[in-house]
DNA sequence: AATGAATGAGTATTCATTCAT
DNA sequence: AATGAATGAATACTCATTCAT
């Protein structure tokens, strides 16, 4: 999923990264030993330390400022362009695109996202770059979109941040429910209802 | 916070539990050593193993079926009685009570909840007893309440589960935003808006 | 040889110390592994780290200020009392006692002395406590002795430090020659000649 | 300092040797890693092993028979010619030349001498070639010199080995004191006194 | 000759667990 | 019930050495 294809990265190096991501996601950082990673990546244990000075460095290379600056923006900007800067006939149409996009993103990046939740979420020092990224790449476009539909009279005259909060909360709740709590649900139907509900609360 | 006061539990035993909860929440289960717990609890290392066969047992005693059966129901039933089985003039009134109750619960049980998210959330085998508990103690009362207000014409004719989902999602989103993302918000004001939004989407 | 018999020290602890001294002396600190020490001491490797936080701590416990303050003074004072504060009819008699005492000391403490030469001699930061000890416990008595024999007219009117230097140099040279370079020598005869030589150079 | 200029030796090879000598002297053989040497020499790690099969070989090339046979004799013979085979008006004059020569030698070859003391001194198997060299290149000339001055009546009728021993011991003691123990001393003055002392003990 | 990525045996250290007291 | 010394397996990491280029 994540590949630093720009920087030439050796095949073994890539195998180490893949193995680490998979195991950190599955068992957590602290419960994964470097020898397990080496075994799964089919390299010698020493090879890991040729590429990363410490085990923590390996985690950071997956999860840290480096990714925030090099990898995440890739996703972030793509998301921003494809979703937030799109041309939508209605807020509902935007919501649908937004929800599907994030749902796919979640499904396709589950391992890294799990690592994030486990290792980053509770360590405030890691959060800053992401907050920054969000404020720069997401927030302004999201706001603009909301203002646009407020002007068109589709949305209530609430502060855009509040509308955004309810939007994100409701969509995230729908996606997470489908993914983790009630997998048997029909996502499309569920989403339709959620959008209906959302618009009910946000309509003028 | 958690005290198994029914079962007589020695003071040292309680200190071990408290220390373990605090450290597991702070550093995670795998990164906390039994010697650290012993030091913080001011007992000898061996003492921990008098009470719990293994370190994992100690975690389970905090987080697992044992708690699901002995501790959580205490909370669950209290919550069910105090909140779900209350007598409310309107769904809005219920929402307000519900939100404050859960907000206080979160603030007062932050450590255990953190342990839950880190150690339980991703391990499906731990989840069953909680699902069971939820289905038995929460779901029926919640449903009843929703049906009651649907009959009174306050709420749309959606499946009660769906209404519950939106309710929980919106309230949870508001609480988590206040607690972790935007601590500077005025919770009361934020909650008012959320309830307005919710009712907008759920009203007939 | 060295036993901290005052502080109760467990038998295993003592075995670790003995093994460490022997192996550090034989192979040097850096070339001795903790697993070798554990094997020779017939304890588990972990046991070493119960008594010493790190391998370096183990070295320091043999060689450091602690020993300088607790062990060395034992020797130093014994030496000072037995040798330097003795009542001698002549400087020659003193020289003989001094030489034999140091010769025995060397033979009986060879391992620790080897560790000293290898690990301490070139690390100035370790030297201070010994310099201090020497200045406090040895220097004044040695000086007094020399002054005493200068007054009696047995020794030249050189600065006592200079006389001390030649004395130590000559006796040390004799002892080291016997111990390391020409083991076949007859120490007694060799010492007689050295004393004759010394007195020849120091006599008025 | 040491250059095997006779054998053509590449510049990188020389840099490896220099780096190894410096680091072995500073940190000891066992505590110096080949990667450190490579970094300091600014060559690739593999390059060291092109020139020396093992790390130990590298040490030996600095310290062993190879040097004893190729390098040391260079020094030894120079010393022998320049100092021992000189033409001196008195033993005192010889002593002065001898002392200055060795003092300079020590100062200029401190690193290698440190390696010697740390790695060779306690390993008897390394000592033989040096003993041999000493017996062949130094001893006879030293003896001759002493016999010469005994004939002239300047020195006592002691065995020349004994006189040599006292001479070396006293001069070495003076040099080492100046270099390692009391750097603030005035070497010239100190040496004068030592010679006076020596002659006092060795004069007829 | 020179490189540097790769190796895997070895290192110091940690840690859950046991057990005699 | 409580202790804490002792254990030994496991851990992250290092390092001399190899080898394809």
**Can you tell me which residue has the tokens 């909060």?**
A165
C121, C177, C201: residue with CB nearest D197: C201
Residue D87 sits in the same domain as residue D31 = no
How many alpha carbons lie under 13 Å from residue C48 in its C-beta half-sphere? Answer: 25
- pLDDT-derived band at A65, boundaries 50, 70, 90: low
The better pLDDT of the pair A81, A118 is held by A118
Which of C166, C171, C192, C193 to probe the D interface (max D CBs under 10 A)? C166
Among the listed ranges A180-184, B52-56, C125-129, which one has the minimum average pLDDT value? C125-129
Domain limits at A21? 1-52
How far apart are the C-alpha atoms of B40 and C15, rounded to whole Å?
A: 32
**pTM for the full predicted model:** 0.85
Percent of chain D topping pLDDT 90:
62
Residue A109 sits in the same domain as residue A172 = yes
Digit-coded pLDDT (tens) for C159-181:
999 999 999 999 999 999 999 88
- Predicted pLDDT of residue A70: 52
Q: Give A202→chain B minimum CA distance, Å.
A: 7
How far apart are the C-alpha atoms of B85 and D148, rounded to whole Å?
A: 119
- Domains identified in chain A, total number: 2
- Predicted pLDDT of residue C184: 93
Residue A124 pLDDT greater than 80, yes or no: no
Digit-coded pLDDT (tens) for A16-39:
999 999 999 999 999 999 999 999
Q: Say which DSSP state B88 is in.
A: -
Q: Give C171→chain D minimum CA distance, Å.
A: 9
- Predicted pLDDT of residue B82: 74
How far apart are the C-alpha atoms of C120 and C116, rounded to whole Å?
A: 5
Among the listed ranges A33-47, A126-140, D58-72, which one has the minimum average pLDDT value? D58-72
- pLDDT-derived band at B117, boundaries 50, 70, 90: confident
Q: Which one, of D40, D72, D38, lies nearest residue D55 by Cα?
A: D38
Contact D42, D15 (CB under 8 A): yes
Among positive and negative, which fits the CA dihedral B109, B110, B112, B113? positive
How far apart are the C-alpha atoms of D72 and D93, rounded to whole Å?
A: 26
Among the listed ranges A64-73, A155-164, C26-35, C42-51, which one has the minimum average pLDDT value? A64-73
- Predicted pLDDT of residue C139: 87
How far apart are the C-alpha atoms of C179 and C195, rounded to whole Å?
A: 18
- Predicted pLDDT of residue A4: 44
| C140 assigned to some structural domain | yes
- Predicted pLDDT of residue A6: 45
Residue B188 pLDDT greater than 60, yes or no: yes
Mean pLDDT over residues C96-113, rounded? 89
Contact A95, A125 (CB under 8 A): no
The residue that minimises its CA distance to C1' of E19 is B46
| A149 assigned to some structural domain | yes
- Predicted pLDDT of residue C73: 55
Residue B141 sits in the same domain as residue B71 = yes
Burial (CB < 10 A; 0-12, 13-18, 19+), residue B114, is middle
Residue B26 sits in the same domain as residue B74 = no
- Predicted pLDDT of residue C5: 44
| D57 assigned to some structural domain | no
Digit-coded pLDDT (tens) for D91-146:
999 999 999 999 998 998 889 888 888 887 667 777 787 888 888 888 999 999 99
How far apart are the C-alpha atoms of D60 and D68, rounded to whole Å?
A: 10
| A27 assigned to some structural domain | yes
- Residue B104 backbone phi and psi in degrees, to 5: -65, -40
Strand F-contacting residues in B 35-94, CB cut-off 7 angstroms: 43-47, 49-51
Residue C16 sits in the same domain as residue C88 = no
- pLDDT-derived band at D5, boundaries 50, 70, 90: very low
| C18 assigned to some structural domain | yes
The better pLDDT of the pair B23, A204 is held by B23
Other CB atoms closer than 10 Å to residue A48's CB: what's the count?
23
* Closest Cα in chain D to C121: D180
| C72 assigned to some structural domain | yes
Nucleotides of E under 7 A from a protein CB: 1-20
In sequence order, which ranges of A28-54 are alpha helices (DSSP H)? 34-41, 45-51
Across the interface, whether the CB atoms of B169 and A170 are under 8 A apart is answered yes
- pLDDT-derived band at C108, boundaries 50, 70, 90: confident
Residue A161 pLDDT greater than 60, yes or no: yes
Whether the beta carbon of D147 falls within 7 A of nucleic chain E: the reply is no
Residue D129 sits in the same domain as residue D186 = yes
Joined together, the tokens standing for residue A19 give 């193995």
Residue D40 sits in the same domain as residue D67 = no
Question: A123-132, C79-88, C119-128, D164-173: which has the highest mean pLDDT?
Answer: D164-173
If you count residue pairs, one on C and one on D, with CB atoms under 8 Å apart, how many are there? 73
How far apart are the C-alpha atoms of C121 and B12, rounded to whole Å?
A: 51
Q: Give A5→chain B minimum CA distance, Å.
A: 30
> What secondary structure does DSSP assign to B112-129, as a single string?
HHHHIIIIITT-HHHHHH
Whether the beta carbon of C132 falls within 7 A of nucleic chain E: the reply is no
Residue A88 sits in the same domain as residue A9 = no
Nucleotide closest to residue C44 (CA–C1'): F7
| B57 assigned to some structural domain | no
Residue D131 sits in the same domain as residue D77 = yes
The residue that minimises its CA distance to C1' of E9 is A46
Joined together, the tokens standing for residue D116 give 């010697």
- pLDDT-derived band at D176, boundaries 50, 70, 90: very high
Q: Give B8→chain A minimum CA distance, Å.
A: 34
Residue A3 pLDDT greater than 70, yes or no: no
Percent of chain C topping pLDDT 70:
85
D170, D172, D201: residue with CB nearest C200: D201
Q: Give ∠ CA C123-C163-C203 in degrees, rounded to 5.
A: 155
How far apart are the C-alpha atoms of B111 and B20, rounded to whole Å?
A: 10
- Predicted pLDDT of residue C138: 81
The better pLDDT of the pair D150, B77 is held by D150
Q: In this structure, what CATH number is given to the domain that contains residue C168? A: 1.10.357.10
What is the pLDDT of chain C when averaged over all its residues? Answer: 86
Among the listed ranges A126-130, A141-145, B94-98, which one has the minimum average pLDDT value? A126-130
D122, D196, D201: residue with CB nearest C197: D201
- Residue B94 backbone phi and psi in degrees, to 5: -60, -45
Whether the beta carbon of C61 falls within 7 A of nucleic chain E: the reply is no
How far apart are the C-alpha atoms of A110 and D118, rounded to whole Å?
A: 57
| B161 assigned to some structural domain | yes
- Predicted pLDDT of residue D67: 61
B162, B177, B200: residue with CB nearest A200: B200
Mean pLDDT over residues A68-74, rounded? 55
Residue B98 sits in the same domain as residue B48 = no
- Predicted pLDDT of residue D165: 93
Residue C165 sits in the same domain as residue C90 = yes
Q: In this structure, what CATH number is given to the domain that contains residue A3? A: 1.10.10.60
Percent of chain D topping pLDDT 70:
90
Residues 6+ apart with CB under 8 A from B62: B2, B17, B20, B21, B24, B112, B115
Q: Which one, of B90, B93, B80, lies nearest residue B141 by Cα?
A: B80
Residue A35 sits in the same domain as residue A83 = no
């Amino acid at each position: 999923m994540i590949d630093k294809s720009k920087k030439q990265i050796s095949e073994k190096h890539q195998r180490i990264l893949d193995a680490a991501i998979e195991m950190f996601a599955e068992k957590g950082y602290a419960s994964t030993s470097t020898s397990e990673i080496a075994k799964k990546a089919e390299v010698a244990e020493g090879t890991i330390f040729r590429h990363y000075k410490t085990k923590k460095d390996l985690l950071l290379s997956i999860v840290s400022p480096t990714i925030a600056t090099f990898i995440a923006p890739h996703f972030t900007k793509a998301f921003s362009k494809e979703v937030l800067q799109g041309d939508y006939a209605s807020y509902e149409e935007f919501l649908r695109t937004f929800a599907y996009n994030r749902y796919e993103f979640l499904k396709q990046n589950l391992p890294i996202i799990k690592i994030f939740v486990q290792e980053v979420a509770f360590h405030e020092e890691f959060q800053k770059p992401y907050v920054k990224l969000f404020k720069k790449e997401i927030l302004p476009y999201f706001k603009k979109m909301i203002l646009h539909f407020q002007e068109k009279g589709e949305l209530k005259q609430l502060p855009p941040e509040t509308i955004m909060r309810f939007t994100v909360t409701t969509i995230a709740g729908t996606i997470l429910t489908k993914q983790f709590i009630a997998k048997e649900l029909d996502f499309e139907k569920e989403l339709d209802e959620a959008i209906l509900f959302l618009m009910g609360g946000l309509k003028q």
